[in-house]
Structure 1
Amino acid sequence: MAACAEFAAAQNEGAIGGTVQDSTGAVLPQATVKLTSREQGTVRSATTNQSGVYQFSFLPPGTYDFDVSSNGFKSLRVTGITLAVAQNDRRDFKLEVGGVSENITVSGTVENVNTDNATMGSVIENKRVVEMPLNGRLFFNLAALTPGVMPAAQNSTNSTRGGFNIMGGCDVCNNFTLNGFFNNNEAAGIPAVRPSIDAIQEFNILTGIYPAQYGFNSGGQIIVTTKSGSNEFHGSGYEFLRNQAMDARNFFSAPGALPPFKRNQYGGVIGGPIQKDKTFFFFNYEGLKLSQGITSRTTYPTTAMQSGDFSGISKVIKDPTTGQPFPSNKIPPQMINKIGAAIMGLYPAPTFASAAGALPSNNYAFQQTRPEKYNQFSLKIDHTFSARDSGYATANYYNDIATETGATITAGCTPYYVPEFTCSPLQ
């Protein structure tokens, strides 16, 4: 996939706006508002209109400082404003009469109550993404920290792949975005690219009443933003190794035997400046090598069915040549195809009995070794063109190859490749 994600950028980034007034509440047109990113040192500037309104759009999540000034008034500095992913924040400022050289500094401001929209949801910030223990290091497992979000049912194929129920919606009805780009595996209703938790800045889960800019699916919105570089170089590496030496025996394994299990997950991140205060990069790589014995279940004909005896089910079996039911629901031996009978002989006997009168379902448990290997990387470039214009480009690659021998006659090998390139509009 390749696309310039201008149409979706507003879904990923935030905005800060408000009014500038004097101490009596009168609006101040032509006031200057400067916004400084603490992480990157970039400065953006805006001038209030005739209604005293200013607006900064397409802002990445982070911490910002404000400098507000107007002729005939004391300058105001407000520090430590935190903006979450896809958050629209309102900040109104009041200036006192005095000289521009006089300064008032406000630090550690409290979080504003959102009075502009009624969006319901929760932000999973970087601290929780990195520090919460996660089996498999899959970011979407943190979604359950949000009120109204439940894991997919255990028998759902999406229960371990990124599917979950939001406010009672189905587990394939959610919409995933990554850095403003649609990130959906539409065939399964799960994220196509699963970024490493070391690359995620934070993500936002909208559970309902979200603005019209969101859509695509009827469920919740999962908005993920990856990290950006800063004016200092930072990096880290990691490796997580597990194997069967410390595992307990599977219930279905032979006594004394341990199913094979080898899991090696490794990677690293690095970010920094390309040009100080102007251009930044952030790169992440993660790999996984996994081989494990798993217990699976499938459906086989019962031993009686393999010989043509369907008397144990309520469904009527009919003679295809006459349309009449077979006596006692049993197919005569002379009507059973020899090739079909030979194929039936390849199937093992079920390990679970079927319910009386019902067709068999998941009646055979078996052990298999499932090897899996994936590689993924992400690259993000941020550039500031001027005090009013900035943009970014991202590249993501994810491939996952898993082989399952299964319990049927044929084996399956499913490679999964997802390359992406996205870019933002000038902001």
Structure 2
Amino acid sequence: MKRSLLFFALVMASYGAVQAQVTTSSMTGIVTQTSGSTTQGATIKAIHVPSGTVYSGSANAAGRFNLANMRVGGPYKIEVTYVGQQPVTYDDIYLQLGQPFVLNPVFGENATTLQEVTVTGQVRRTQKTGASTSIGQKQLQELPQVERSITEFMRLTPQANGNSFAGRDARYNNLQIDGANFNNGFGLSGGPIPGGNSQPISLDAIEAISVNIAPFDVTQSGFTGAGINAVTKSGTNKITGTAYYFLQNQSLQGRKIDDITLDKVDAAKKNFGFSLGGPIIKDKLFLFVNAEREEATGGMLLEQIYGKLLKTE
């Protein structure tokens, strides 16, 4: 009886650890010959060019390989080698958060028996694991935004209605940043991020975002709306930095509702900050810091709106 109770307690204690922490990407595929036979023992090496980080592995008896826990983004340089074969190389490969990149290299005939070797390969960009949307660095930098919040990019998902997904209340989502929960646990509003209108992490520090509606991966759990995963940036071998300033004032606020014109109220919202990244030890240890400050003054009072509407009645 005591053993049964102990086992039950251990199962319940490990329940919270079942939820996956989606912070990396991966690469998978099958190495074959032009004849169609698989290539057992081929070596696959992936180099993250900006940081010099190397991921390597070998193909098993079925020619299949899997490189796990890879850094999001890129570019990557991929080199596939095998004894007696010309290496197969790929450049400018980019990985998306939580989505395996499928690469199927194909070797030509043995290089020692031919005058000319033709190397071909098959590349499939990503392997979908259910209804999901991936937002990379290019979209984060180029798409317009008003609040500089992760929630603005979550709406790129076709199933999104504001912060609600697939008809579920926003409080049924699960938001993780670098594997840590950032949910609105108190639940007084429909916003998925704690802190009201303030952002706990600057958008300038976000590397990639993924929104999963119905993942095939059973380890992704803890939500019935959407699982939102984001990862922050890391330094590279190149020293980089940003400095920014954003301003919204009363000139960007609407003041007319039908025939009612509201009084102009001085209001402003200012965001300013910086980020800095670079190497501490080249190819091994990196630094990335970000700081942002938000200031808001004034605002359009609801009492003014209600007052104007009551006068018209």
Question: TM-score by structure 2 length?
Answer: 0.78
What's the CA shift string for 1:125-152, capped at 9, x where partnerless?
212212222112122112222211111x
In the other structure, the counterpart of 2:86 is 74
1:190 matches 2:189: no
Displacement after TM superposition at 1:111 (Å): 4.1
Match of 1:283 in 2: 289
Aligned residue runs from structure 1 range 29-48, under 5 A: 29-48=40-59
Aligned counterpart, 2:268? 262
For residues 81-131 of structure 1, the C-alpha deviation after alignment (integer angstroms, 9 at most, x for no partner) is: 22101112222222123349x987779x864363xx541111122122122
Q: Which residue of 1 aligns with 2:4?
A: none
Where is the helix percentage greater, Structure 1 or Structure 2?
2
The structural deviation recorded for 1:284 is: 1.0
> Does structure 2 conserve the Cα–Cα contact (< 8 Å) formed by 1:79 and 1:106?
no
Identify the residue that residue 101 of structure 2 maps to in structure 1.
89
* CA distance 1:76–1:248, shift in 2 (3 Å): closer
Q: Is the 8 A contact 2:240 2:277 kept in 1?
A: yes
Q: Equivalent residue for 1:60?
A: 71
Q: How many pairs does the alignment contain?
A: 280
Aligned residue type for 1:13 = T
**How far 1:76 moved relative to its partner?**
1.0
1:230 and 2:236 correspond: yes
Are the structure 2 counterparts of residues 245 and 47 from structure 1 closer, same or farther at C-alpha, using a change threshold of 3 Å?
closer
Could you tell me how far apart the structure 1 residues matched to 2:166 and 2:267 are?
A: 36
Which stretch has the larger CA shift, 183-192 or 200-209? 183-192
Residues 333-379 of structure 1: per-residue CA shift (max 9 Å, x gap):
xxxxxxxxxxxxxxxxx9699xxxxxxxxx9xxxxxxxxxxxxxxxx
- The alignment partner of 2:155 has SS state of helix
Instruction: Return the alpha-carbon distance in structure 2 between the equivalents of residues 52 and 285 of structure 1.
Output: 47
Please, which of 125, 136, 139 is the counterpart of residue 128 of structure 1? 139
Q: Distance in 2 between matches of 1:225 and 1:169?
A: 24
Q: CA deviation at 1:18?
A: 1.7
Find the aligned partners of 1:39 and 1:103 in 2 and give their Cα distance.
31
Per the alignment, residue 274 of structure 1 pairs with 280
For the Cα contact (< 8 Å) 2:19–2:222, is it kept in 1?
A: no
How far residue 80 of structure 1 moved from its aligned partner, in angstroms, is 2.1
Q: Quick check: 2:267–2:300 contact (8 Å CA) kept in 1?
A: no
Counterpart Cα distance in 1 of 2:170 and 2:301: 24
Partner AA of 2:193 in structure 1? P
* 1:6–1:32 distance in 2 versus 1, CA, 3 Å: farther
1:27-51 CA distance string (max 9 Å, x none)? 2222111111122122222122222
1:70 maps to a residue whose letter is: Y
Alpha carbons 2:26, 2:70 under 8 Å: kept: yes
Deviation at 1:239, TM superposition (A): 1.1
Q: Are the structure 2 counterparts of residues 134 and 7 from structure 1 closer, same or farther at C-alpha, using a change threshold of 3 Å?
A: same
Contact 1:9/1:179, CA 8 A, preserved across alignment: no
Residue pair 1:76, 1:103 contacting (<8 A) in 2 also: no
1:214 and 2:237 matched: no
Q: Distance in 2 between matches of 1:246 and 1:10?
A: 39
- TM normalised by structure 1 equals 0.59
Maintained 8 Å contact 2:256/2:262: no
* CA RMSD, Structure 1 to Structure 2 (Å): 3.1
1:345-356 alignment, distance < 5 Å: none
In structure 2, the CA distance between the partners of 1:76 and 1:247, relative to structure 1 (3 Å rule), is closer
Could you tell me whether the CA contact under 8 Å between 1:235 and 1:269 is conserved in 2? yes
| Residue pair 1:259, 1:292 contacting (<8 A) in 2 also | yes
1:293 counterpart = 2:299: yes
Which string of whole-angstrom CA distances, capped at 9 and with x for unpartnered residues, describes residues 298-352 of structure 1? Answer: xxxxxxxxxxxxxxxxxxxxxxxxxxxxxxxxxxxxxxxxxxxxxxxxxxxx969
Structure 1 residue identity aligned to 2:207: Q
- Shift in Å, 1:242: 3.5
Gaps of 5+ in 2: 1-15
Number of the residue aligned with 2:177: 178
| CA offsets 1:180-210 (integer angstroms, 9 cap, x no match) | 2222222226224642221111211112244
Task: Quote the Cα distance in structure 2 between the aligned partners of 1:120 and 1:56.
Answer: 23
In structure 2, how many angstroms separate the alpha carbons of the residues matched to 1:257 and 1:17?
61
Q: Pick closer, same or farther for the CA change 1:257–1:42 going to 2, 3 Å.
A: same
- Residues 106 and 199 from structure 1, CA distance in 2 versus in 1: closer, same or farther, beyond 3 angstroms? farther
SS in 1 for 2:293: strand
Deviations 1:155-190 (A, max 9, x none): xxxxxxxxx111111121111111122222222262
What letter matches 2:203 in structure 1? I
**What is residue 8 of structure 2 aligned with on the other side?**
none
CA separation of 1:10 and 1:28: change in aligned 2, threshold 3 A: farther
Relative distance call for 1:240 and 1:73 in structure 2 (3 A) is same
Aligned in 2, Cα 1:99/1:110: closer, same or farther, shift over 3 Å?
A: closer
Larger Rg computed on CA atoms: 1
Aligned pair 1:11/2:22, yes or no? yes
Deviations 1:52-71 (A, max 9, x none): 22211111211322111111
Q: Structure 1 97/10 Cα, relative in aligned 2: closer, same or farther at 3 Å?
A: farther
